């Protein structure tokens, strides 16, 4: 496997970062998780725009153009012969001193890994998944905005630990007001009385690219959609529920906190939107020049 690292392709075991890199020392950096399907990188431009916005929010000045990074992503797929898979694009603050001061880091580091990912067991995509709400609240937007896709994922990891300890693969995180924010690596949707609903970004969610895609698909299919603040009560009385994320794709949720959602099986609108999503990703995206 070849990794793109600071402008060069290097073998996996040569792809190393300094112990003085602030990405490692402080989680100071930004990243994207991107998918390739059928020889195309899905919504690459949208991922790059979000990466630049995350960088801007943490005052990390990108020395590369958006096009240069898009080319690096596509080339990393091509060099590895990757037709379908998962791409991790990371920009760190770079090498600095042992103090926090980001301005003492001369230049950011960038790397791209083109590999694969299986977030949840395959059968859960058909039968649905159980989730729990956890005690760890999502980062307060005034502390570290969940809209920034930063390398600092400890908030999510602490929630993930609670979920795994409770015997389920994913956690629903609430915000400091008790409203549903999102899951540790996914956005959350419910369906109630035929209306598709997701939490607003202001509730403490990342603006997921899969989330946006599903909203687009729902609108095109004439499914009523709204953003709405949600409580656990709203989840408990939902007819359907599913999660979206680049790594997770779209996965039905059939139980929350031990309570069945709807009739306890993936609902019709969920199944319809997941099918549409799988159709779309096969045809749309930045082509990878494969031999």
The tokens of 246 are what?
């680049």
Binder of ligand PMP out of 171, 244, 256, 285 (CB under 6 A): 244
Q: Collect all residues with Cβ–Cβ distance below 8 Å to 12 and sequence separation of at least 6.
A: 1, 2, 3
Query: Cβ distance 135 to 163 under 8 Å?
Result: no
Shortest CB 154 distance to ligand PMP, Å: 12
Structure tokens at 12: 């996996």
Residues with a catalytic annotation lie at 149
Using the rule CB under 6 A, is 211 a contact of ligand PMP? yes
Least distance from ligand PMP to the Cβ atom of residue 161, Å: 15
Among 5, 82, 209, 250, binds ligand PMP (CB under 6 A): 209
Q: String of b and e for 59-79 (b: at least 16 CB within 10 Å)?
A: ebebeeeeeebbebbbbbbbb
Stretch that binds ligand PMP, among 58-66, 76-84, 206-214, 216-224 (CB under 6 A): 206-214
Closer to ligand PMP by Cβ: residue 96 or 199? 199
Contact indicator for 80, 1 with CB cutoff of 8 Å: yes
User: Is residue 199 within the footprint of ligand PMP (CB under 6 A)?
Assistant: no
Closest CB to ligand PMP among 29 and 96?
Answer: 29
| Least distance CB 256 / ligand PMP (angstroms) | 17
**Which helix (H) or strand (E) element contains residue 122?**
helix 122-127
The answer to whether residue 247 forms part of the interface with ligand PMP (CB under 6 A) is: yes
The answer to whether the CB of 200 falls within 8 A of the CB of 227 is yes
Residue 186 CA to residue 171 CA, distance in Å, equals: 9
Question: Does the protein bind ligand PMP through residue 133 (CB under 6 A)?
Answer: no
Is 206 a binding residue for ligand PMP by CB under 6 A? The answer is yes
CB 145 within 8 A of CB 201: no
Does residue 231 contact residue 203 with C-beta atoms inside 8 Å?
no
Please say which residue, 9 or 277, places its beta carbon nearer to ligand PMP. 277
Task: For the segment 8-37, give every residue that binds ligand PMP (CB under 6 A).
Answer: 33
160 makes contact with ligand PMP (CB under 6 A)? no
Which 3 state secondary structure label does DSSP give 98?
Answer: coil
Least separation, in Å, of the C-beta of 214 and ligand PMP?
9
**If binding is defined by CB under 6 A, does position 285 make contact with ligand PMP?**
no
Near ligand PMP in 53-82, by CB under 6 A? none
Distance CA 235, CA 255 (A): 10
- By CB under 6 A, which span of 2-10, 59-67, 215-223, 243-251 interacts with ligand PMP? 243-251
The DSSP letter of residue 148 is S
Alpha carbon distance 114, 56 (integer Å): 25
Footprint on this chain of ligand PMP (rule: CB under 6 A):
33, 156, 182, 185-187, 206, 208-211, 244-247
């Amino acid at each position: 496997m070849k990794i793109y690292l600071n402008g060069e392709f290097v073998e996996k075991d040569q792809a190393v970062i300094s112990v003085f890199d602030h990405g490692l020392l402080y989680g100071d950096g930004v990243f994207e998780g991107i998918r390739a399907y059928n020889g195309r990188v899905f919504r690459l431009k949208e991922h790059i725009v979000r990466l630049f916005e995350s960088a801007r929010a943490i005052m990390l000045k990108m020395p590369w153009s958006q096009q240069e990074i898009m080319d690096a992503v596509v080339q990393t797929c091509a060099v590895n012969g990757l037709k379908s898979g998962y791409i991790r694009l990371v920009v760190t603050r770079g090498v600095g001193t042992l103090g926090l001061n980001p301005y003492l880091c001369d230049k950011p580091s960038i790397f791209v890994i083109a590999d694969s990912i299986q977030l949840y067991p395959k059968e859960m995509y058909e039968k649905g998944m159980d989730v729990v709400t956890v005690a760890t609240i999502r980062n307060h937007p005034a502390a570290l905005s969940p809209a920034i896709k930063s390398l600092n994922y400890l908030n999510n990891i602490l929630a993930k630990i609670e979920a795994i300890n409770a015997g389920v693969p994913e956690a629903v995180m609430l915000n400091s007001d008790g409203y549903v924010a999102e899951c540790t690596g996914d956005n959350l949707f419910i369906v109630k009385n035929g209306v598709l609903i997701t939490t607003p970004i202001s509730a403490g969610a990342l603006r997921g690219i899969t989330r946006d895609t599903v909203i687009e698909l729902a609108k095109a299919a004439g499914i009523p959609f709204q953003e709405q603040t949600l409580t656990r009560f709203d989840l408990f009385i939902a007819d359907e529920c599913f999660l979206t994320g680049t790594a997770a794709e779209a996965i039905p949720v059939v139980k929350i906190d031990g309570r069945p959602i709807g009739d306890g099986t993936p609902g019709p609108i969920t199944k319809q939107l997941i099918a549409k999503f799988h159709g779309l990703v096969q045809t749309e995206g930045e082509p990878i020049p494969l031999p």
